[in-house]
Amino acid sequence: METTNIRMAEITSKKPMYREAIAEGTIYLKESTVERIKDKTLEKGDPISTAEIAGILAAKQTSQLIPLCHPIPITNVKIDMFLEGNSIRSQCKVKSIGQTGVEMEALAGVSIALLTIWDMVKPYEKDEQGQYPDTSITNIRVIKKFKESEEENESEKSSSESLRTKT
Encode pLDDT of 122-153 as tens digits: 999 999 999 999 999 999 999 999 999 755 65
Report the pLDDT value the prediction gives residue 167, as an integer from 0 to 100. Answer: 43
Report the pLDDT value the prediction gives residue 162, as an integer from 0 to 100. Answer: 44
* 25-69 residue pLDDT tens: 999 999 999 999 999 999 999 999 999 999 999 999 999 999 999
- Evaluate whether residue 63 is within a structural domain: yes
DSSP tag of 12: T
In this structure, which amino acid lies at residue 130? Answer: G
- Evaluate whether residue 158 is within a structural domain: no
DSSP tag of 16: P
In sequence order, what are the residues at sequence separation of 6 or more whose Cβ sits closer than 8 angstroms to the Cβ of residue 29? 37, 86, 87, 88, 117, 121, 124, 125, 134, 135
Residue 80 designated active-site: no
Residue of 80, 119, 127, 134 marked catalytic: 119
Domain extent, residue 126, equals: 22-150
The number of distinct structural domains making up the chain is: 1
Question: Strand order of the sheet with strand 74-84?
Answer: 74-84, 87-98, 17-28, 136-147
Per the rule left: phi > 0, alpha: psi between -120 and 50, beta: everything else, 24 is beta
Per the rule left: phi > 0, alpha: psi between -120 and 50, beta: everything else, 38 is alpha
In sequence order, what are the residues at sequence separation of 6 or more whose Cβ sits closer than 8 angstroms to the Cβ of residue 19? 95, 96, 97, 98, 100, 101, 102, 146, 147, 148
Confidence of residue 120 (pLDDT cuts 50, 70, 90): very high
Distances (CA, A) of 60 to 71, 77, 94, 95, 165: 9, 8, 9, 11, 37
Which CATH number characterizes residue 41's domain? Answer: 3.30.70.640
- Evaluate whether residue 51 is within a structural domain: yes
Report the pLDDT value the prediction gives residue 81, as an integer from 0 to 100. Answer: 97
Confidence of residue 156 (pLDDT cuts 50, 70, 90): low
* 75-103 residue pLDDT tens: 999 999 999 999 999 999 999 999 999 99
In this structure, which amino acid lies at residue 6? Answer: I
Report the pLDDT value the prediction gives residue 2, as an integer from 0 to 100. Answer: 73
Tell me the DSSP string of 123-158.
Answer: HHH--TTS--TT-EEEEEEEEEEEE--HHHHHHHHH
- Evaluate whether residue 75 is within a structural domain: yes
